[in-house]
């Protein structure tokens, strides 16, 4: 994460907290992040120097003006005016980090070979919440190379219960024994 993302994302969070809009703006920021990821050409268009700033600002207003909080629309316009709209994802990460800290939420990244069902995610969430004593937000990543099992990253710790992880451990032990 860049310094721009920390400063701008943190400033938006401070404003949202003051206005008691952190949850709403976080949800909207996450949705916009998804839009930018799904439509990289749109983000490229909003950063295109051959298009005037006024036109790019109008594109933001047309797309988001009546859809999201005005503070967030103004934030997008500010990033566009400064030529740092590509920092938006980092700003969202900083905003989320601050929100999670203030609301005692731990973020868990769970990697599995296949998408977990809602009931599996709920059971895992409950177990993790009991373990860390916080509410847990789960991001489920799919990686077929794990073969089976789960890898969980939570609060700087990694728990690897994947077949791939076990095979790697066995391979290391064999190599250490041979050497």
Q: Where are the domains of the chain?
A: 3-100, 105-178
Residue 69's pLDDT is 93
- CA 170 from centre of chain: 33
**Tens-level pLDDT at each residue, the chain (179 residues):** 789 889 999 999 999 999 999 999 999 999 999 999 999 999 888 888 899 989 999 999 999 988 999 999 999 999 999 999 999 999 999 999 999 989 988 888 888 888 888 888 888 888 888 888 888 888 888 988 777 878 888 877 787 777 666 666 677 777 777 66
Residue 73's pLDDT is 95
CATH topology of domain 3-100: Peroxidase; domain 1 (1.10.520)
CATH topology of domain 105-178: Glutaredoxin (3.40.30)
Q: Is the dihedral of CA 79, 81, 84, 89 positive or negative?
A: positive
In this structure, are residues 165 and 146 in contact, taking their beta carbons and an 8 Å threshold? yes
* Distances in whole angstroms, Cα of residue 120 to Cα of each of 104, 124, 133, 144, 146: 23, 6, 19, 18, 17
Residue 128's pLDDT is 87
Residue 24's pLDDT is 96
């Amino acid at each position: 994460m860049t310094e721009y993302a920390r400063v701008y994302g943190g400033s938006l969070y401070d404003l949202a907290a003051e206005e008691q809009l952190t949850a709403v703006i976080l949800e909207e920021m996450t949705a916009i992040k998804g839009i930018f990821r799904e439509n990289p050409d749109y983000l490229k268009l909003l950063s295109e120097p051959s298009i005037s700033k006024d036109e790019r600002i109008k594109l933001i207003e047309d797309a988001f003006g009546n859809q999201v909080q005005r503070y967030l629309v103004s934030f997008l316009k500010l990033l566009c005016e400064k030529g740092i709209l590509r920092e938006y994802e980092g700003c969202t990460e900083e905003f989320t980090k601050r929100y999670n800290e203030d609301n005692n939420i731990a973020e868990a990244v769970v990697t599995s070979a296949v998408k977990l069902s809602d009931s599996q995610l709920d059971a895992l969430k409950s177990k993790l919440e009991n373990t860390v004593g916080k509410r847990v937000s789960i991001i489920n990543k799919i990686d077929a190379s794990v073969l089976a099992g789960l890898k969980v990253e939570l609060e700087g710790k990694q728990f690897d219960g994947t077949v791939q992880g076990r095979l790697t451990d066995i391979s290391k032990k064999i190599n250490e024994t041979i050497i």
